[in-house]
Amino acid sequence: MTVKCDLELKPQDVTSPRWKEECGVAGVWAPGRSVVDLCYLGLFALQHRGQESAGLAVTDGLHIDMERGMGLMREAFRHRLPSLKGHAAIGHVRYSTCGASLFNNIQPIFAYFSGGFICLAHNGSLTNAPSLRRRLEKDGCVFQTGTDTEAILNLIARDGAQTTEEKIAASLQQIEGAYSLTIMTGDRLIGVRDPYGFRPLCLGSLPGGGYVLASESCALDAAGAEFIRDVAPGEMLIIDRDGLHSRIIGARPRLARCVFEYIYFARPDSVLDGLSVWQARYRLGQQLAREFTGAADMVTPVPDTGITAALGFAAESGLPYVEGLIKNRYVGRTFILPDQAERQSTVEMKLNPIRANLKDKRVVLVDDSLVRGTTSASLISLIRRAGAGEVHFCISSPPITHPCYYGIDTAVRKELIASHKTVDEIRRIISADGLQYLSRPGLMGAVGDPEEKLMCGACFSGEYPTSVKDVENKECK
Ligand code: SF4
């Protein structure tokens, strides 16, 4: 087994109230085949969900082999994958904040316990993680990482149930918040989605036999699997030599699938819970155009995540869709870089204007969200310096006024510009001629949830579907 370990934890990593991760998980089960390459391919399609580190674990039922590393997958694995020819594998790509981007926080995480070994990968964020960890530490548990995921591993290892499946089911009763998990033991692959369904998880079948679990359907495509269905909120799917079994792990208080997956986070070629991300984004753009009150000559996106909404905006408004910014594809997404200084400096590294298309034009610039305002101000300045007559900044989501505690880093509240500024104040700060947000009813209507019964929109309203007392950053409220 080749697990590397760096136990040097920074104190803030284990005490931070902001264990926020936005990650991707994958798992493959195919008896009689070596699956590490398939798991790698699936995980590679989820690279957009986490770019700070990646890990893969493979088993043949008796042994486990794992490779983990910092950075993008090509950096993390450096052309070296686990060498074990195993029939089951799980993988994880990770993004984190609060200084937790450390080697020993990389997932999957792994432990031996009374039931053998267990390997676990987690997308989401537990809202009772701090109290859970305090309780476990008081009971004598030791932690080797700063992640909330390790608490799940400890709960499973300490549970008194007879079987691993029962241990997992019992442990899940004690955790709250957002979790889509892939779990691997010597004899099974398990997929779990929390009862609210915050984060996506889907199931596919492999030609010739076997199954793939993944955060998004684009990963099934990449692994050559055929989509079967989404894992239902509150469902645990167990895959073993007898096939596929399902059990319900918890009562479903309400559904709260993350609407932000459709706005920004998921890949447009994915289908989440029956809704195409591309189509949802296009509809957001159409609705934004209906709500737009200004006058303009052209529509241009902030590439890449504004493209689909800008296409919808152009189709609905009748304005021409014109490329105004070209992206350097070798620079990472600004939203996903952890440091404010990096965010500011990368805008102009990342985007360059096409002056011939922008000169003297009244431009509708479409982006998916406005978080702190610094990136938006830089973008607008870039378009103006390229000769645009007017810049109308149109956002295909409502103002983000509250932080997310369910696995997406939208910053602490005081950093969210819309939490303490009016729309007109923000417009002046970012120096736009016009600023148009998509309305909340417009957003929820476009994703097919006009009564807000299926999706979470807490970052736009502060109406959190679960208690967040344990994790909220009180100093920012
Ligand atoms: S608070 Fe916002 S980002 Fe977080 S799960 Fe809810 S909708 Fe998604």
Cα distance between residue 447 and residue 279, in whole Å: 9
Predicted confidence band of residue 98 (pLDDT cuts 50, 70, 90): very low
Catalytic residue among 5, 23, 98, 404: 23
Give start-end residues of each CATH 3.40.50.2020 domain in the chain: 276-447
Question: Identity (one letter) of the amino acid at 139?
Answer: D
**What pLDDT does residue 330 have?**
76
Q: What CATH code would you report for 276-447?
A: 3.40.50.2020
pLDDT digit string, tens, across residues 39-70: 999 999 999 999 899 999 999 999 999 999 99
CA of 217 to the centre of ligand 1 (A): 20
Closest CA to 237 of 228, 226, 245: 245
**Rounded percentage of the chain residues whose pLDDT exceeds 90:** 77
Cα distance between residue 71 and residue 231, in whole Å: 29
**Rounded percentage of the chain residues whose pLDDT exceeds 70:** 89
pLDDT digit string, tens, across residues 11-50: 333 323 322 347 999 999 999 999 999 999 999 999 999 9
Q: Which atom of ligand 1 is nearest to the CA of 198?
A: 5
Predicted confidence band of residue 342 (pLDDT cuts 50, 70, 90): low
Query: Average pLDDT, stretch 418-424?
Result: 96
Query: Average pLDDT, stretch 291-320?
Result: 97
Q: Which atom of ligand 1 is nearest to the CA of 261?
A: 8
CA of 465 to the centre of ligand 1 (A): 10
Closest CA to 409 of 338, 333, 306: 338
**What pLDDT does residue 328 have?**
86
Question: Which helix H or strand E contains 117, and what residues bound it?
Answer: strand 116-123
Nearest protein CA to atom 4 of ligand 1, as residue: 404
Q: What CATH code would you report for 11-253?
A: 3.60.20.10
User: Which of 95, 126, 196, 260 best tests ligand 1's pocket when mutated (most atoms within 8 Å of CB)?
Assistant: 260
Return all residues near 347 (Cβ < 8 A) that are at least 6 apart.
Answer: 334, 375, 378, 379, 382
- 310 pLDDT above the threshold of 90: yes
Q: Which atom of ligand 1 is nearest to the CA of 410?
A: 3
pTM of the model: 0.91
Q: Which atom of ligand 1 is nearest to the CA of 408?
A: 3
Pocket of ligand 1 (CB under 6 A): 198, 258-260, 404, 406, 408, 410, 456-459
CA of 408 to the centre of ligand 1 (A): 7
Nearest protein CA to atom 5 of ligand 1, as residue: 258
CA of 126 to the centre of ligand 1 (A): 13
More confident call, 472 vs 301: 301
Closest CA to 30 of 265, 231, 247, 224: 224
**What pLDDT does residue 255 have?**
96
Nearest protein CA to atom 2 of ligand 1, as residue: 459
102 vs 19, 105, 227, 412, CA distance in Å?
Answer: 13, 5, 34, 21
**What pLDDT does residue 10 have?**
31
Q: Which atom of ligand 1 is nearest to the CA of 465?
A: 6
CA of 26 to the centre of ligand 1 (A): 22
The yes-or-no answer on residue 459 being catalytic is no
User: Which of 199, 404, 444, 463 best tests ligand 1's pocket when mutated (most atoms within 8 Å of CB)?
Assistant: 404
Query: Average pLDDT, stretch 72-80?
Result: 87
Neighbours of 447 (CB within 10 A): 25
451 vs 280, 327, 401, 445, 455, CA distance in Å?
Answer: 17, 37, 20, 8, 9
CA of 237 to the centre of ligand 1 (A): 25
Give start-end residues of each CATH 3.60.20.10 domain in the chain: 11-253
* Biggest CA-to-CA distance, the chain: 72
User: Which of 127, 258, 416, 440 best tests ligand 1's pocket when mutated (most atoms within 8 Å of CB)?
Assistant: 258
Report whether 436 contacts 394 (CB < 8 A): yes
Return the structure tokens found at 44.
């590679």
**What pLDDT does residue 18 have?**
29
